[in-house]
Amino acid sequence: MARYRYKGVDGKGKAVRGVREADSPRALRNALRREGVLATDVRDAIAREKQSKGFDIGSMLRSVSSVDLAVATRQLATLLRAGIPLVESLAALRDQSENQLFQETLSQVRDKVNEGISFADALSEHPKVFNDLYINMVRAGEASGTLESVLARLADFMENQNRLKGKVQGALFYPGAIATLTVAVTFFLLTVVVPQVSAIFENFGKVLPWYTRALMATSSFLTTFWWLAILLAVSSVVLFRRWKNSEKGEAVWHRTLLRVPVVKGLVTMVAVSRFTRTLATLLRSGVPVLGAMDITRRVLGNVELMRVIEEARASVREGESIAEPLKRSGRFPPIVTHMIAIGERSGELEQMLEHVSNAYDDQVEAQLTALTSLLEPILLVAMGGVLVVIVFSIISPLLQINEFIS
């Protein structure tokens, strides 16, 4: 059988699309017709994939979101628990997905599994969709015969991570909107309002205050070289991102974040929550401790904390407990290392790690709420301060004109 990509219209007039296997395009059209779908376009999926290997901006922008992956993982666990074979379950997920890249990925994974390759090995051929954490948990589930349970646990993990990410983004949205509005209003005043007022000052015989002259010079520069200002701003952002993504810059930036008073606590709490929940999920799924710590290290997102976990992993390899090297590093709160030590002694490390993660998730939410409450008035005051400076720099010379006329 060949694989074909199709587009069509169902009985309700709704547009449908997908990828299906059939002996020929005609056979696929007949099969779709029996299902109440009128096929309007049927193409060879393999040929389409070969054509798409060239430079295609559209394909570069396609991605599979973590939300889509979490939903699909939950659905796959449900199908497997219902007794549906893995190959058929993957086909069902493929037909249901509306993401073209995800459809192609699931089709290729299904084909590999159908050829006898393990599910984990098939997933490993698509690292942009399935990360090391996902692949290793699936591998552990296949080895232990508990794939459906591991997938359900993996879905829980991704949903928790997506929930935490959503809280962070939601908390930063309003302050970001205020900052953006402040920049936009300031740019408008300097490029539209101030130039009109400057014409009045040209016939003013007295020397203008230094702050008014500075405002007029800034306005003149932005009005004439606005493109240069935008170019400098964009270049600064690009250069900063390049530096931050470099090996040296990334280390310096992450180390700096762990020293800023307000940000330090939030970064640490997010890292602790991610570390404990990831490690607990991997250990519950049957992944060995050393392998679990290696995977956990790579999902922390902070080079300095990754170094700490790598050193702890080396100590564990030599027979030491997990808690001791984490405690020596000074990067993890004492309560966290204490609870991990208790979990190791009692044989309930996974449960203790989950308790820590749940507690820190709540602390992250409380910290974000407090930080947002603090940022909002600060940004509003800053916005008002900028407007006051601009208005004062304009009104002050105008009052002098009125005094001179009178």
Query: Is the pLDDT at 52 greater than 50, yes or no?
Result: no
Tokens of 224: 């004439």
Q: What is the pLDDT of residue 342?
A: 92
Pick the CATH number of 156-406 from 3.40.1180.10, 3.20.20.70, 3.30.565.10, 1.20.81.30: 1.20.81.30
Give CA–CA dist 105/75, Å, rounded. Answer: 16
Q: What is the DSSP letter of 191?
A: I
Query: Of 37-46, 103-112, 241-250, 268-277, which range is least confident?
Result: 37-46
What's the rounded mean pLDDT across residues 384-396? 84
Q: What is the pLDDT of residue 192?
A: 84
**What are 194's two structure tokens?**
């101030």
Location of structure tokens 């109440």? 36
pLDDT, tens only, 158-205? 888 788 778 777 777 887 888 888 888 888 888 888 888 777 776 666
Q: Do 312 and 329 form a contact (C-beta atoms < 8 A)? A: yes
Could you tell me the CATH superfamily of domain 66-130? Type II secretion system (T2SS), domain F (1.20.81.30)
Q: Please give the pLDDT value at position 3.
A: 64
- Find all residues with CB under 8 Å of 384, minimum gap 6, and list them: none
Report which of residues 401 and 318 the model is more confident about.
318
Q: What is the per-residue pLDDT for 303?
A: 84
- Minimal CA–CA distance to 201: which of 401, 406, 404, 392? 401
User: For residue 44, is pLDDT > 80?
Assistant: no
Residue 239's pLDDT is what?
A: 93
More confident residue, 47 or 392: 392
More confident residue, 336 or 18: 336
For residue 332 the two structure tokens come to: 């993890």
Q: Which residue has the tokens 């309560």?
A: 335
pLDDT top residue among 45 and 103 = 103
Mean pLDDT estimate for the chain: 81
Domain chopping of the chain, boundaries: 2-61, 66-130, 156-406
Its pTM surpasses 0.75: no
d(C-alpha 335, C-alpha 212), whole Å: 56
Q: Which two tokens stand for residue 3?
A: 């694989």
Domains 66-130 and 156-406 share a fold: yes
Stretch 388-405: mean pLDDT: 74
> How much is the pLDDT for 235?
93
Residue 50 predicted with pLDDT over 50: no
Least confident range of 99-103, 213-217, 365-369, 378-382: 365-369
pLDDT at 78: 92
* Rounded Cα distance, 59 and 133, in Å: 25
Residue type, 193: V
Q: Output the six-digit token pair for 333.
A: 């709160």
Residue 155 has pLDDT above 80, yes or no: yes
CB within 8 A of 290, min separation 6: which ones? 313, 316, 317
Highest average pLDDT, of 129-143, 224-238, 274-288, comes from: 224-238
Distance CA 390, CA 40 (A): 61
**Rounded CA gap, 354 and 357, in Å?**
5
Give residue 305's pLDDT band: very low, low, confident or very high (50, 70, 90).
confident
Check if the beta carbon of residue 223 is closer than 8 Å to that of residue 191.
yes
pLDDT band at 403 (very low <50, low <70, confident <90, very high): low
Residues 391-400: what's their mean pLDDT? 78
What pLDDT score was predicted for residue 191? 84
What pLDDT is recorded for position 49? 44
What pLDDT does 57 receive?
Answer: 38
How distant, in Å, are the alpha carbons of 162, 171, 224, 252, 347 from that of 332? 23, 24, 52, 19, 21
Please state, for a pLDDT cut of 70, what percent of the chain lies above it.
91
pLDDT greater at residue 172 or residue 330: 330
For residue 402, the model assigns a pLDDT of 60
How many CA within 13 A on the CB side of residue 19? 27
Q: Rounded to the nearest 10 degrees, how much is the dihedral formed by the CA atoms of 257, 261, 262, 263?
A: 10
